[in-house]
Amino acid sequence: MNKIGLIIKREYLTRVRKRSFLILTFLGPILMAAIYIIPIMLALNSSTDHLRVAVVDESHWFEDRFTSNKEHTFVTMPGQPIDSVKEMVKTGVFDIALYVPPTQLNIPSNATVYSIRQVPMEVETYISSVMEKEIEEQKLMAKGVDPEIVSAVKTDVNLQIMRMDENGNEKETFTKVQFTLGIILSMLVYMFIMFFGGQVMQGVSEEKTNRIIEVIISSVKPFQLMMGKIIGVSLVALTQFVMWILLTIVLYVGFSAFIGISHPDMLSQGTVMAQEITSTDIMSNESVQSILQIVHSIDFSTIIACFLIFFILGYLLYATLYAAIGSLVDNNTDSQQFTLPVTVPLMVAIISSFYIVNNPDSSLAVWLSMIPFTSPISMMVRIPFGVPIWQIVVSVLLLACTFVLMTWIAAKIYRTGILMYGKKLTYKEIFKWLKYK
């Protein structure tokens, strides 16, 4: 036991001290934070520009329809020819000129925007939405619809989705949040298994190629070395994970504080934007309350517990396989034929997760989340949607049993493989190793 501890310590320290680990640890949260921060920064920057829009409306349909707000001023220029307004854009009196050509009988449906610089997306969207709305109303009125009815028809639909359980308890769910969570969680498990499983494989084959292996296994049992390595690397993975979460929080708090000091008025906007990313336009009104509702609807303790269990067991299962593969290869070039059977179930799981996320309770989803080789990923897709507890238990038990079985098999392969040099290996031969004493 003491020796396993020494091996774990070495595996852990040599990896954590590596420059690549530090880079990844700090780069990860920065990348994650960037996903949140860049849109906010962009929003902050664009809003500092005040755009002046000159409207030349020769059809006279929209003259008083555009309303100015704090970002944009709309100035109607009645009777001015568009060419002289374009000159004013060139000289910088206006930033943008909107030209609606004259129409006699028909409702105008085209217009042109002139600008020196790129027209912001939001301005473009605003102009076309105002015009579309106006045209729609005019068309309806032309068909003889009462203007009162036209305005009464406008409704915002707020679709509420309630999930019921056997006891009749109802709970509101937010599909988009669950969707995003499911994908993120399964991707995380997938990435961690591939990355750290790969590290185990590399570590084993390094010891073999270095020829230090025989020195070590004259002191410890091959099984101890294998498990020490697997556990050591798993601690590295957990360290990385915890560091990422901590750093993300630090970055997020730091960024919020920075915004709070330099742009006090922007803080609320920034927060709303950040929330909109996760809860994309679920509801535009009462946003604070709805966000709280969303947060409460997610069972974080279950998600985190399941994530840790499935991540750790999934990693352990694959790490034993990767260790066995690492023991078979002399150099990295011939590892392909042995890694393929291991990567295939992972690929199947991650590709099918895009299907599962749309049908989390379909039979395929249930099966994939039960089969031990895909369950760590497939189950994580389903967890945010709520999974019956018995399914989680069965899946965890199956995964744990498979892990024990695979460890036994992998240890047998590993033990023989690490001392085998310069021999072309076939699956038939490896199968024989299982029977060696």
Q: Work out whether 286 is an interface residue with another protein (CB under 8 A).
A: no
Q: Work out whether 434 is an interface residue with another protein (CB under 8 A).
A: no
Percent of residues in the chain assigned helix, strand, coil, to nearest 5: 70, 5, 25
Among 419, 426, 431, 434, binds another protein (CB under 8 A): 419
**373-to-208, 383, 406 alpha-carbon distances in Å:** 27, 17, 11
**Is 418:217 a contact under the CB 8 Å cutoff?**
yes
Q: Work out whether 110 is an interface residue with another protein (CB under 8 A).
A: no
Q: Where are the beta strands (DSSP E) in 17-71?
A: 51-57
Among 31, 184, 212, 304, binds another protein (CB under 8 A): 212
Which has the closest alpha carbon to 327: 401, 403, 237, 425?
Answer: 425
Q: How far is the CB of 278 from another protein (least distance, A)?
A: 42
N-terminal to C-terminal alpha carbon distance within the chain: 23
Alpha-helical runs (H) found in 162-221: 175-210, 213-217
Specify the residue, 390 or 436, whose C-beta has the smaller distance to another protein. Answer: 436
Distance CA 323, CA 320 (A): 5
How many residues contact another protein, by CB under 8 A?
Answer: 23
Stretch that binds another protein, among 151-159, 187-195, 217-225, 232-240 (CB under 8 A): 217-225
Q: Work out whether 22 is an interface residue with another protein (CB under 8 A).
A: no
For 222, the enclosing helix (H) or strand (E) is helix 222-262
Specify the residue, 17 or 70, whose C-beta has the smaller distance to another protein. Answer: 17
Q: Work out whether 428 is an interface residue with another protein (CB under 8 A).
A: no
Specify the residue, 3 or 86, whose C-beta has the smaller distance to another protein. Answer: 3
203: amino acid identity, one letter:
G
Spacing of C-alpha 12 from chain mean position: 28
DSSP state for residue 384 in the 8-state scheme? G
Among 19, 70, 143, 211, binds another protein (CB under 8 A): 211
If DSSP codes are grouped into helix, strand and coil, which group holds residue 328?
helix
Among 210, 285, 333, 363, binds another protein (CB under 8 A): 210
Q: Work out whether 158 is an interface residue with another protein (CB under 8 A).
A: no
Q: How far is the CB of 398 from another protein (least distance, A)?
A: 33
Stretch that binds another protein, among 167-175, 194-202, 219-227, 233-241 (CB under 8 A): 219-227
Among 132, 214, 286, 361, binds another protein (CB under 8 A): 214
Q: Work out whether 431 is an interface residue with another protein (CB under 8 A).
A: no
Q: How far is the CB of 234 from another protein (least distance, A)?
A: 20
Specify the residue, 222 or 270, whose C-beta has the smaller distance to another protein. Answer: 222
Among 128, 361, 432, 434, binds another protein (CB under 8 A): 432
DSSP codes of every residue in 321-345: HHHHHHHH-SSGGGGHHHHHHHHHH
Q: Work out whether 390 is an interface residue with another protein (CB under 8 A).
A: no
Stretch that binds another protein, among 211-219, 269-277, 311-319, 325-333 (CB under 8 A): 211-219
**159-to-89, 283, 294, 310, 358 alpha-carbon distances in Å:** 44, 9, 14, 33, 18
DSSP codes of every residue in 300-321: HHHHHHHHHHHHHHHHHHHHHH
Distance CA 138, CA 20 (A): 64
Binding-site ranges for another protein (CB under 8 A): 3, 6-7, 10, 14, 206-207, 210-212, 214-220, 222, 419, 421, 432, 436-437
